[in-house]
Structure 1
């Protein structure tokens, strides 16, 4: 959860707010990244893209990485496997995702 929202919710009935760190924080950030990606997939909004980006940026920071590291990894993967700009889709029968 975003830091500011935690402060807003703290003390409300039925809500417990606590801090985590280390491997617990890393695992929760990965779950938050999935949640935000699903929300982006549903809404297509820039606000959800911003939430996804913020969660991913914090996950990178926690691992001692930065946006430059992510861009380099993406560039290398694009060099090896291509990007997503061509519009190609592969569909496997019996699977719900491509």
Structure 2
């Protein structure tokens, strides 16, 4: 089995020169796709732990994805604000249950 994943720059520096790992750099659409996968990975870790450190990892992955896409944080905030205006937020704590569905 092969294990591969996008790692932080500092982790890559720590791994340099080791014989049990191969490091290479990606960019463009490959980096963008790996960052989307990293956001999911970090979201799952955050969901499991609820820790502030995992939330920070999720935020870092999302920030880098935005940078690669050429989108500023302010633009994301604007999109979120517009969606909140149209659909609301999550502060109400509402849960919807569909008894007849097998999946959401």
Q: TM-score scaled by structure 1? A: 0.92
Structure 2 spans left out of the alignment, 5+ residues: 1-6
Query: In the aligned structure 2, how far is the partner of 1:88 from the partner of 1:16?
Result: 47
Query: In the aligned structure 2, how far is the partner of 1:43 from the partner of 1:10?
Result: 30
The structure 1 residue matched to 2:26, chosen from 20, 30, 45, is 20
Shift of 1:46: 0.4
Q: State the Cα deviation string for residues 1-43 of structure 1 (Å, max 9, x = none).
A: 1100011012223211111000000000000000000000000
Q: Give the corresponding residue for 1:76.
A: 82
Query: In the aligned structure 2, how far is the partner of 1:89 from the partner of 1:14?
Result: 47
Instruction: Give runs of aligned pairs for residues 56-71 of structure 1, distance below 5 A.
Output: 56-71=62-77
Q: Give the corresponding residue for 1:89.
A: 95
Query: In the aligned structure 1, how far is the partner of 2:34 from the partner of 2:97?
Result: 31
Query: In the aligned structure 2, how far is the partner of 1:15 from the partner of 1:86?
Result: 47
- The count of aligned residue pairs is 96
The structure 2 residue matched to 1:9, chosen from 15, 21, 26, is 15
Q: TM-score scaled by structure 2? A: 0.87
Q: Give the corresponding residue for 1:44.
A: 50
